[in-house]
Structure formats: structure tokens, C-alpha cells
């Protein structure tokens, strides 16, 4: 079995690896590090949680150990699709470069331009960035990419498949054609791979696991519940709570994935309303909020993290016990990344997914991708009475107004006298009740006893009186 000491890494890097507690490289590290250290382009494909970040971080530190960066001219560039993944790469760099004098800068959204400009002006050896913020700095004249010697695209399929192709092509055009390029991803669809071939020159392809496979340490289950109409989302929220309660103490912490940001907020709010310690995280939240939420989840203060796919890629949270797919992912590859948040580094994990009849095609696509039939679980739904009470406990109850009943009761206790009814027939109409069921006295025909005298007189009598 190969050890890190047998790989062509700098002694200072090996010392940092030893202090971090690692002795044996993972298969992707063992296959990718040697050609990367030799300066060759690399296309690495491996499932999530197998150590791809160290596969490019370690040879990059080794190659950059000699030399010094100039102001605004980074010597290497790492592109990441999300802020969280970029921050994770920066943490790995700090761990493995602790005995070197290499410097880094992290360029992500939600952070002051002024602070980032100050780092770039001093000169950085490693620039870790999301494409949007990188181009913002370039367009402001604060960044020059003509000295980039090593360029890394992490989660390459997501970078290319989520609309980043124009930005990636532009960034590649700003870097020297003599650069070394490293692509790493968990999945690599054929059409995406054709695009990567335009960026890499005779790459060493390192594929250590069958493409789009899931870890064998993860127990997968899908629950097919009936759902149609407006109450489908409510049924899914009820069943999600049922699954969490059913697992009980086994759920030390868990990530709940939703397809839409608005559903992330709704599910998190629903869970908190029912007493669960849960918080949302998605792209619309500012960076400081997202950082606090992730820190709380890592420390155990937050038990359940409700997330969009922004949290599905590259987050190194090693002790996630459960992943709940509240929605079946729209892209089959996302299923691999989502459940890859659990069962990391050989640990056991549990992945549960809620499906409705409209998700049948998406579910079939996932099973074709992973070449495995996901076991079905029994859908023991919560009792309807309890679910109804839970969702309506804050709604005001509609009751019949007592004011409408008072006239009836008053009419029984003190009925209107016949004389009064004759004098004031309109008094029988009570407020709001319209006198229904009350004794209005004798039926009045015409003008009754109130016929004026002048009407009763004949024409001759009135003429004689005049």
C-alpha cells in the first residue's frame, strides 16, 4: 500500500500531512498527485468525499514552493462554483501549506472588495475564487492573470453545467496557454467532457470509481407517498417530520435538500415551528449568515440544515449522519452529490428521499445513473388528525357569532306584546336577526286602523267642507 512519503511531494508538505494525521492517500490522490507533480494536465473523476481537494492542493503547494508572487499577479488559480467550496479549499491550503511561506487570497461574494484588494496588492501565490467575483476584480483593474502557472477547476461538471461556460472560457483566455490545468469532479457527462477537452492538453485521466457511483457505506431508501393537488407539500412536510422522529437519536445531525430556495425557507420555518433545531442555507442569504449557519451546524448547535444545492458540493462536514431529500433532484447527478454529504471517509450514513407520483421520471433517471434500484420504504404517514392540528394551531378558529343567537333567546324570555306589535310593527325586527321566528301580532292588511280621516271621507264630503 502506497504512503504519502512515496509520492513526489515536498518535505514541508509531507510534514504538514503527517501532523494532520494522514498516512495513506486515497485512490484519487494516489492516481492524480504523481502526474500533477510532473506538470501534466489532469482530469480526475471520483465520487464525493474521496479527497479530491488534496489531490490538487498538495502538488500545487509543492510546485509553487519556489518563487514569489508579484503584486496583483497570482501564480495559481483555483475556481470553485460556490462560496462554501471555495472557503473549504482555502482551509485545506492553510492546513497543508503551514510550513511554507506561500500566501493565498479568497475572492468570494459577500465580502468587502477593499479587504480583498489589499490581499491582492501584496501579491498572492494561490488565488481561490468564484468566477463572478474573480471577473469583478479583473474588470476593476485590480487583477492580472498573465502569470498563472497552475489553474484548477474544482467540481468541473457543475462549473460547466450551471451556466459558467462563458465565464470559464473568458478566464481561460486571460491566462497563459502554457499553464498547467487540473479538472476534478464527481461526475463527468460525455457532453461536458467534450468541453473540457478544449481546455486540457493530453491530460492524465484518473478515474478511481465507476462514474456517478454512490458510496457503499450509505444506506439509501426512497419513500413514495401519494400526492396531488395543493396539499402535496404539506404531506411531504408531515412525512419528513415522521422520518426524523422515526430515526430518533440516530439523527445526530442531518441535511435536508430542497430544489427551490423558497421551499428551503418554508421547510426550515415549519421544522422550527414544531420544535426542531433547524436553519436554512441558500444562495440568497448573505455570506456572513451562511458562515454562521455552517459553523453552528459543524459545532452541533444546529441539528438540521435545510439547504439548496449550494451546499451539496464540496462541503467537508465529516460527521453528517443523515441526508433527507425533501425533493427528488431535478438533475440525476445532484443526487450523487447530495447523499455524498453523509458516509464520508468510510463512515456509515443514511440517505432518505421523499417521492411523489410526479417524480417517477426523475427517480427512474437517478436509478439509471447509479445503476442501482433504490430500496422502497414503507410510507407510514402520520395520523391526519394530528397533521391537521399541527398546521392549523396558529390559525384563528371560525365560530358562529353569538350576536345572531341573542335575539332568539331574547324573544323567548320576553316576547313582544300584541299591543306593541300593533303599535310598532317594525319593532319585531331585532338587530341581526330580522325577527325570524318571533310573534309579530295580527297580520296587517293595507293601512289597518291607521287610515287617515281625509281618505275615509267621500268626494262630496270633502267638497262641502271646502
Same domain membership, residue 133 and residue 67: yes
Same domain membership, residue 223 and residue 145: no
Is position 397 within any domain?
A: no
**3-class SS at 159?**
helix
Same domain membership, residue 164 and residue 266: no
C-alpha dist (Å) from residue 174 to 72, 109, 147, 167, 187: 14, 21, 10, 11, 27
Is position 203 within any domain?
A: yes
Same domain membership, residue 226 and residue 202: no
Could you tell me the three cell numbers for 61? 503547494
Region of 283 (left: φ > 0; alpha: ψ -120 to 50; beta: rest) is alpha
Same domain membership, residue 407 and residue 363: no
Same domain membership, residue 137 and residue 8: yes
Region of 307 (left: φ > 0; alpha: ψ -120 to 50; beta: rest) is beta
Distance CA 290, CA 312 (A): 14
**In this predicted structure, what is the pLDDT of residue 352?**
97
**In this predicted structure, what is the pLDDT of residue 147?**
93
Q: Which of 392, 416, 434 is the last residue of a domain?
A: 392
**In this predicted structure, what is the pLDDT of residue 422?**
42
Distance CA 216, CA 347 (A): 10
Same domain membership, residue 188 and residue 66: yes
Same domain membership, residue 304 and residue 266: yes
Is position 459 within any domain?
A: yes
Q: Which of 351, 366, 392 is the last residue of a domain?
A: 392
Is position 104 within any domain?
A: yes
Q: At what angle do helices 11-19 and 83-96 cross, to 10 degrees?
A: 110
Distance CA 118, CA 439 (A): 91
The 8-class DSSP code of residue 99 comes to: T
Domain span holding position 426: 403-465
Q: How many domains does the chain have?
A: 3
**In this predicted structure, what is the pLDDT of residue 423?**
45
224-247 burial: b if 16+ Cβ within 10 Å, else e = bbebeeeeebbbbbbbbbbbbeeb
Please report, for the domain that includes residue 139, its CATH number: 3.40.50.300
Q: Which of 337, 369, 392 is the last residue of a domain?
A: 392
Is 65 in contact with 90 (CB distance < 8 Å)? Answer: no
Question: Tens of pLDDT along the chain (466 residues)?
Answer: 689 999 999 999 999 999 998 999 999 999 999 999 999 999 998 776 678 899 999 999 999 988 888 889 999 999 998 888 898 899 999 999 999 999 999 999 878 899 999 999 999 999 999 999 999 999 999 999 999 999 999 887 777 666 787 898 899 999 999 999 998 877 777 767 777 888 889 999 998 866 567 778 899 999 999 876 778 999 999 999 999 999 999 999 999 999 998 999 999 999 999 999 999 998 778 878 888 998 899 899 999 999 987 665 656 677 899 999 999 998 887 898 888 888 876 788 999 999 999 999 999 999 998 889 999 998 865 455 444 444 444 444 555 544 544 444 444 444 444 444 444 444 444 454 454 545 555 555 555 566 666 666 665 666 666 5
Same domain membership, residue 365 and residue 424: no
pTM: 0.65
Is position 83 within any domain?
A: yes
Same domain membership, residue 359 and residue 246: yes
Distance CA 420, CA 174 (A): 99
Torsion of CA 297, 129, 89, 201, to 10 degrees: 140
Same domain membership, residue 56 and residue 175: yes
Is position 213 within any domain?
A: no
**In this predicted structure, what is the pLDDT of residue 414?**
47
Same domain membership, residue 429 and residue 286: no
- The residue written with cell numbers 472557503 in the block is 87
Could you tell me the three cell numbers for 466? 271646502
Amino acid at each position: 500500500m502506497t504512503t504519502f512519503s512515496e509520492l513526489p511531494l515536498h518535505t514541508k508538505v509531507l510534514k504538514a500531512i503527517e501532523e494532520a494525521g494522514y498516512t495513506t492517500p486515497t485512490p484519487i490522490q494516489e492516481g492524480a498527485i504523481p502526474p500533477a507533480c510532473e506538470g501534466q494536465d489532469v482530469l480526475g473523476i471520483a465520487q464525493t468525499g474521496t479527497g479530491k481537494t488534496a489531490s490538487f492542493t498538495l502538488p500545487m503547494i509543492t510546485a509553487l514552493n519556489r518563487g514569489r508572487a508579484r503584486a496583483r499577479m497570482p501564480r495559481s488559480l483555483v475556481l470553485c462554483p460556490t462560496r462554501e467550496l471555495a472557503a473549504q479549499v482555502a482551509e485545506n491550503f492553510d492546513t497543508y501549506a503551514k510550513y511554507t511561506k506561500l500566501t493565498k487570497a479568497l475572492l468570494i461574494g459577500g465580502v468587502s472588495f477593499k479587504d480583498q484588494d489589499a490581499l491582492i496588492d501584496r501579491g498572492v501565490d494561490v488565488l481561490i475564487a468564484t468566477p463572478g467575483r474573480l471577473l469583478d476584480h479583473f474588470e476593476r483593474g485590480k487583477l492580472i492573470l498573465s502569470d498563472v502557472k497552475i489553474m484548477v477547476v474544482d467540481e468541473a461538471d457543475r462549473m460547466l453545467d450551471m451556466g459558467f461556460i462563458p465565464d470559464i472560457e473568458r478566464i481561460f483566455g486571460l491566462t497563459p496557454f502554457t499553464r498547467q490545468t487540473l479538472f476534478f469532479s464527481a461526475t463527468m457527462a460525455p457532453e461536458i467532457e467534450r468541453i473540457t477537452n478544449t481546455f486540457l492538453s493530453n491530460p492524465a485521466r484518473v478515474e478511481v470509481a465507476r462514474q456517478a457511483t454512490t458510496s457503499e457505506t450509505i444506506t439509501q431508501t426512497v419513500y413514495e407517498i401519494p400526492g396531488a393537488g395543493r396539499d402535496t407539500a404539506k404531506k411531504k412536510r408531515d412525512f419528513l417530520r415522521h422520518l426524523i422522529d422515526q430515526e430518533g437519536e440516530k439523527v445526530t445531525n442531518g441535511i435536508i435538500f430542497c430544489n427551490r430556495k423558497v421551499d428551503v425557507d418554508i421547510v426550515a420555518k415549519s421544522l422550527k415551528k414544531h420544535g426542531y433545531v433547524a436553519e436554512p442555507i441558500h444562495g440568497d442569504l448573505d455570506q456572513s449568515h451562511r458562515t454562521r449557519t455552517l459553523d453552528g451546524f459543524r459545532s452541533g448547535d444546529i441539528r438540521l440544515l435545510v439547504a439548496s444545492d449550494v451546499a451539496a458540493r464540496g462541503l467537508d462536514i465529516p460527521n453528517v449522519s443523515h441526508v433527507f431529500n425533501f425533493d427528488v433532484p431535478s438533475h440525476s447527478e445532484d443526487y450523487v452529490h447530495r447523499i455524498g454529504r453523509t458516509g464520508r471517509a468510510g463512515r456509515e450514513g443514511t440517505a432518505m428521499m421523499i417521492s411523489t407520483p410526479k417524480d417517477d421520471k426523475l427517480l427512474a433517471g437517478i436509478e439509471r445513473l447509479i445503476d442501482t434500484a433504490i430500496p422502497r420504504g414503507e410510507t407510514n404517514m402520520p395520523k391526519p388528525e394530528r397533521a391537521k392540528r399541527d398546521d392549523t394551531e396558529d390559525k384563528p378558529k371560525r365560530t358562529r357569532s353569538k350576536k345572531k343567537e341573542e335575539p332568539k333567546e331574547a324573544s323567548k324570555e320576553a316576547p313582544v306584546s300584541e299591543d306593541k306589535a300593533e303599535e310598532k310593527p317594525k319593532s319585531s325586527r331585532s338587530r341581526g336577526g330580522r325577527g325570524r321566528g318571533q310573534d309579530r301580532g295580527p297580520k296587517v292588511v293595507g293601512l289597518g286602523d291607521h287610515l287617515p280621516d281625509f281618505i275615509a271621507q267621500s268626494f262630496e264630503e270633502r267638497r262641502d267642507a271646502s
